[in-house]
Chain A
Amino acid sequence: MNIAGDPQSSTYGVAAEFDSASQLFKAAEKIRDAGYQKFDVFSPFPIHGMDKAMGLKKSLLGMIIFCGGLTGFLTAICLEFIPSSIIYPLIVMGKPTNLFTVPAFFPIMFELTILLSAFTAVFGMLIMNGLPRWNHPMFNWDRFKKVSDDKFFCIIEARDRQFSESKVKELLESLGGQNITRVQED
């Protein structure tokens, strides 16, 4: 088996290369059914239905974004009512400064809800993905550069409870994986 990275350091996992999205999809299903949990598949674009094929649940990001949006909404309520109704009630064109003024306050509530939701979406996504990050063991493998071009990869990580180098290699070979390589930690 090829080795990517420093042979002295510990093993990160065993990886294989595939030619098409459908091959990768089937491989993911088989690896899931074989009981592996710490594995990942890499592709140049998101593959429809891959979460199910890998046995992953729906991303929790939506819930987090909801909290972000709620924060924005509450921020706008405080930002508008505290100065305009409490600290410095400013009566313009005889409009009320109490709760009846909500329709006029609505646009800013809406904008801040959207703004904070969007920030939460982007930064929440990055944090959940462990990004930004300087390096990753996968980048030790030269062929992995093709992942952003036209190749598909799969890795079963060494920290999986069932991991055994020879068994994983056998499984990946049976799934049609090519260039099976042991990827080392940095």
Chain B
Amino acid sequence: MAEAIAPSPAPNQTPDHQAVQRPPLVLNKRTYGWIGNYVSSIVEAQTPIWWWLCMAVTVPLTLVLFGCIAYLISTGVGVWGNNHPVGWAWDITNFVFWIGIGHAGTLISAILFITRQKWRTSINRAAEAMTLFAVICAAIYPGLHVGRVWMAWFLAPVPNANGIWQNFRSPLLWDVFAVSTYFTVSVLFWYTGLIPDLATLRDRATTKMKKIFYGMMALGWRGGNRQWRHYEMAYLLLAGLSTPLVLSVHSVVSFDFATSVIPGWHTTIFPPYFVAGAIFGGFAMVLTIMIPACAIYKPLHDLVTVSHVDKMCKVIVFTGSIVGYAYLMELFMAWYSANPYEQAAFWYRAFGPYWWAYWAMMFCNVIAPQLFWFKFLRTHLVWVWIICQFPNMGMWYERFVIIATTLTRDFIPSAWGQFHPTWVDIWMFIGTFGLFFTLFLIFIRFLPMICMFEVKAVLPESDPHYGEKH
């Protein structure tokens, strides 16, 4: 798993031609047939033992999550450690954490699509699936945070039981719209991308059940150019629409904080800083999942090559540096504002009761990813996986620092207090990982985890003028 797979040089070409030749996106000269066969075989083969073993861990954790939710609803939201003054605690931390992870998928599929980054084709499917599952995990928390879950419909834009309408100027309502739109559009985008691949599975299906299942899901796709032409337009425009959407979602999440008057939250740097952090954490999670998946299905290394991992590590070091810049700028602005509350908020972050969370965040998000400046560490998968765990942890600490640390000490010392998580807090957080990985395992078992038709389209022979002299 650890060896670097070097891109093979372009064969039989004049030196002149070689100079402009990019390294191939698919290694070992794999054919259309091989790509279709191999990726489909992952879905078609007998369920492997490792899959059952993983499910044996993740399913019980998911059940723990559901148990905690049932306990919380039946007892009351007080089973969480949230209490005055820390009214937003682990629940909102976890919400922002999961939403942040859910950004990489749409970023890869939308922004890299319209910027014509062809290397995205082999990772977009799994990253989009990861996005959906992360958003599902995220949505659990604000849904429960409302306290009386049966009144969650108050969030919908209809007059409530007292005939009062929502406050459309509230960032919390913006958030409802932003997150639900993001989820819906991500599902549409993901499914649109799946249609041609579901047709592949339909055409290969051997049992009646599979034929019916994949046949229904593929909607009768034939792959005619009269279909592709609308399909490509739809996909391009979905990518164009998702690009501002993905940037807006975490901006809107950050408005929940930035539009308040709490010292430490009331800053204009929040939207770009949240978006950069989300991409940073999301890419780390994509690598966390994709590296083991490719280690299990080794031939996938021809599609998800070391060059892909290398590029994603560069994105991590870039966005990690933006995040680091934002941390330093926050400190500078706290000092420069000459506002004693603002200054105190940042002093308490670094040296207050949660100093360990702040320095863990600083180390994980700013210092650790700088290791990716070394090519050796970007191209050796074990190292990449280990280093990616720092952003994963660091981004959780970041949200905890922003939310809990800020709320523990705001203006008047008499209103200060500490937050302590209860066992429900802790098990719900662990449980969402169970749910996330369960959904992902189900995904790789039943749907193609590589976008086959897009990978086929980036092979050199897919160019209609392949082999012609210019």
Residues of chain A having any CB pair with chain B under 8 Å: 20-22, 24-25, 28, 40-51, 53-54, 56, 58-59, 61-62, 65, 79-80, 83-84, 87-88, 90, 92, 95, 101, 104-105, 107-108, 110-112, 114-115, 117-119, 121-122, 124-126, 128-129, 131-136, 138-139, 145-150
Residues A114 and B181 in contact, CB atoms below 8 Å apart: yes
- Residues from chain B with a CB closer than 8 A to the CB of A49 are 464
- Does B414 interact with chain A (Cβ within 8 Å)? no
* Residues 195-226 of B at the A interface (beta carbon under 8 Å): 196, 199-200, 202-204, 219-226
Write the nearest CB–CB distance from B224 to chain A, whole angstroms. 4
Partner of A111, one of B181, B191, B223, B227: B181
Partner of A84, one of B36, B168, B453, B463: B168
- Does B188 interact with chain A (Cβ within 8 Å)? yes
Alpha-carbon distance between A134 and B17 when the two chains are bound, in angstroms:
48
Residues B173 and A21 in contact, CB atoms below 8 Å apart: no
A-B contact pairs, 6 of them (CB 8 A): A44-B456, A59-B233, A88-B164, A139-B222, A148-B202, A150-B33
A-B interface, 8 closest residue pairs, ranked by CB to CB distance from nearest: A25-B464, A150-B32, A125-B234, A104-B169, A132-B219, A45-B457, A83-B165, A133-B220
Residues B464 and A41 in contact, CB atoms below 8 Å apart: no
Q: Given the known inter-chain contacts A84-B168, A148-B36, please indicate yes or no for A45 contacting B462, CB distance below 8 A.
A: yes
Partner of B233, one of A45, A61, A104: A61
- Does B51 interact with chain A (Cβ within 8 Å)? no
- Residues from chain B with a CB closer than 8 A to the CB of A146 are 203
Alpha-carbon distance between A114 and B466 when the two chains are bound, in angstroms:
38
Residues of chain B having any CB pair with chain A under 8 Å: 31-33, 36, 157, 159, 163-171, 173-174, 177-178, 181, 184-185, 188-189, 191-192, 196, 199-200, 202-204, 219-234, 237-238, 241-242, 244-245, 248, 252, 255, 453-454, 456-457, 461-468
Residues B230 and A21 in contact, CB atoms below 8 Å apart: no
If over half of B's interface residues share one DSSP class (helix, strand or loop), that class is named, otherwise mixed; here it is helix
Residues B165 and A107 in contact, CB atoms below 8 Å apart: no
Q: Given the known inter-chain contacts A45-B453, A45-B457, please indicate yes or no for A92 contacting B233, CB distance below 8 A.
A: no
Write the nearest CB–CB distance from A31 to chain B, whole angstroms. 12
- Residues from chain A with a CB closer than 8 A to the CB of B203 are 145-149
If over half of A's interface residues share one DSSP class (helix, strand or loop), that class is named, otherwise mixed; here it is helix
Residues B222 and A50 in contact, CB atoms below 8 Å apart: no
Write the nearest CB–CB distance from B160 to chain A, whole angstroms. 11
Residues B196 and A148 in contact, CB atoms below 8 Å apart: yes
Residues A61 and B244 in contact, CB atoms below 8 Å apart: no
Residues B31 and A42 in contact, CB atoms below 8 Å apart: no
Alpha-carbon distance between A135 and B229 when the two chains are bound, in angstroms:
21
Residues A107 and B466 in contact, CB atoms below 8 Å apart: no
- Residues from chain A with a CB closer than 8 A to the CB of B32 are 44, 149-150
Residues B167 and A92 in contact, CB atoms below 8 Å apart: yes
Find the B residue at minimum CB distance from A49.
Answer: B464
Alpha-carbon distance between A129 and B227 when the two chains are bound, in angstroms:
5
Q: Given the known inter-chain contacts A108-B168, A149-B33, please indicate yes or no for A62 contacting B233, CB distance below 8 A.
A: yes
- Residues from chain B with a CB closer than 8 A to the CB of A61 are 230, 233-234, 237
- Residues from chain A with a CB closer than 8 A to the CB of B171 are 107
Residues A118 and B36 in contact, CB atoms below 8 Å apart: no
Write the nearest CB–CB distance from A181 to chain B, whole angstroms. 16
- Residues from chain A with a CB closer than 8 A to the CB of B468 are 22
Alpha-carbon distance between A40 and B463 when the two chains are bound, in angstroms:
19
Residues B234 and A48 in contact, CB atoms below 8 Å apart: no
- Residues from chain A with a CB closer than 8 A to the CB of B234 are 61, 65, 121-122, 124-125
- Residues from chain A with a CB closer than 8 A to the CB of B232 are 46, 59
